[in-house]
Amino acid sequence: MSPRAGTMRLACMFSSILLFGAAGLLLFISLQDPTELAPHPAPGIKFSIRPQQPHNDLPPGSSQDGPFKAATERVTRDLSSRAPRGLSLRMSQDPQAQLNVGARLRPRQRRRRLLIKKMPAAAALPANSSARTLVRPAPGALDGRWASLRETQRERKRVMREACAKYRASSSRRAVTPRHVSRIFVEDRHRVLYCEVPKAGCSNWKRVLMVLAGLASSTADIQHDAVHYGSALKRLDAFGRQGILHRLSTYTKMLFVREPFERLVSAFRDKFEHPNSYYHPVFGKAILARYRANASREALRTGSGVRFPEFVQYLLDVHRPVGMDIHWDHVSRLCSPCLVDYDFVGKFESMEDDANFFLSLIHAPRNLTFPRFKDRHSEEARTTARITHQYFAQLSTLQRQRTYDFYYMDYLMFNYSKPFADLY
């Protein structure tokens, strides 16, 4: 063989190797789904805490590309990763938008996703996730109790959404403003948004959020004043519009509610039957001056001694002498559930089960449970249905009916039964 022929043969072999290599690289790239491979912050990951700059409203690890980049995929994947095996929490999504997203996926991308779903759970974990914070229950852990709690959540959200669709249809078309989210507290490490409903366990829930945020080691260490008058927890309205929308579209949103009459009596007992340097002079004096005939000079001076029927007169008066307060305002106005699509709806009446179920969904530390202690007036019995009936027995039938009408949307939206047989 001549030297020239040998050189040509070597050149051909080298060219063939390059072509095969290029073809293999193109095949590899075509099988990748950039959305699947892009790193997303996983819930439960303990981010390193750095002071937030005033101009940056997004949590650590978030991009500046806006809150809705791949929002549908990201929210669905986040909530799926939070739930125990077999549990699915559904976010509010546009079915047509979901259809369009699915239609845009190429066949190879679908195959790639199918392969990932069939992988063992550990193989699909993001590179920056922590095995300690992504603990899954054992296969037998999803017993009848977990399944019952999952079904309860589905039913509560269904009832709430149906009530919104029937009575507040226009709300879904309104834009979210800072006022709508002013009662929502933010916990960035576990990506939780909690809407505060006073007299429905809110003090202890804020303690839990502070422990989740690493601000305390135990809920028992946090005093009442630190919970209510400190600035450790941020409210959602403290962020800019981009930060608000980003968290609403990617965080787990939850609220806890309570039977409306019971919550009202609990608020009255707390604020008017004990010394209070704010509610007595601000609300008590105005109520006594308007609704008590021949009130004593001492009562008008201090605002103490308001009776429950007088308090209800104030509540139902369209020309109240003093404004509304969050402790007896409607939940539908405090948390805007027809505008903000909550992922989890808990109830005070089933607090222990609901709270611990929620904590398991967000992969909270296993030694963190919802505290049982009473925040104030611990020597006094909690307000129960029996105590509530005793207070409402002081009212006329008409007053009870009007109070029920006042809280009608809360009764309807959160599926509470009529507390008295004579109500219509």
Question: Residue 252 is inside which H or E element, if any?
Answer: strand 252-257
Q: What's the confidence (pLDDT) of residue 377? A: 72
Q: What's the confidence (pLDDT) of residue 175? A: 86
Single out the residue of 58, 57, 62, 56 nearest to residue 41, CA to CA: 62
Q: What's the confidence (pLDDT) of residue 103? A: 40
If you count them, how many residues does the chain have? 424
Q: Rounded CA gap, 395 and 401, in Å?
A: 10
**Those residues with Cβ within 8 angstroms of residue 234's Cβ, 6 or more apart along the chain or in another chain:** 185, 186
Single out the residue of 348, 346, 161 nearest to residue 259, CA to CA: 348
- Which string of b and e fits 405-415 if b means at least 16 CB within 10 Å? ebbebbbbbbe
pTM for this prediction: 0.68
Q: Which residue type occupies 63?
A: S
The token pair that represents 326 in the structure block: 């969050």
Q: Rounded CA gap, 142 and 48, in Å?
A: 32
Q: What's the confidence (pLDDT) of residue 12? A: 67
Low-confidence ranges of the chain (pLDDT < 70): 1-8, 10-12, 14-15, 20-143, 169-173, 378
**Residue located via tokens 């190797």:** 17
Alpha helices, DSSP H, located in 275-418: 279, 285-291, 297-302, 308-316, 331-334, 351-361, 385-392, 397-406, 408-413
Q: What's the confidence (pLDDT) of residue 168? A: 78
Q: What's the confidence (pLDDT) of residue 6? A: 63
Single out the residue of 96, 47, 375 nearest to residue 212, CA to CA: 47
CB-CB contact of 348 with 256 (8 Å): yes
Q: What's the confidence (pLDDT) of residue 48? A: 34
CB-CB contact of 390 with 216 (8 Å): no
| 127 beta partners | none
Single out the residue of 140, 36, 126 nearest to residue 84, CA to CA: 140
Q: What's the confidence (pLDDT) of residue 135? A: 37
Q: Rounded CA gap, 183 and 197, in Å?
A: 8
Give the strands of the sheet with 252-257, arranged side by side: 234-235, 184-187, 192-195, 252-257, 344-347
Q: Radius of gyration of the chain from Cα atoms?
A: 28
Q: Rounded CA gap, 177 and 180, in Å?
A: 5
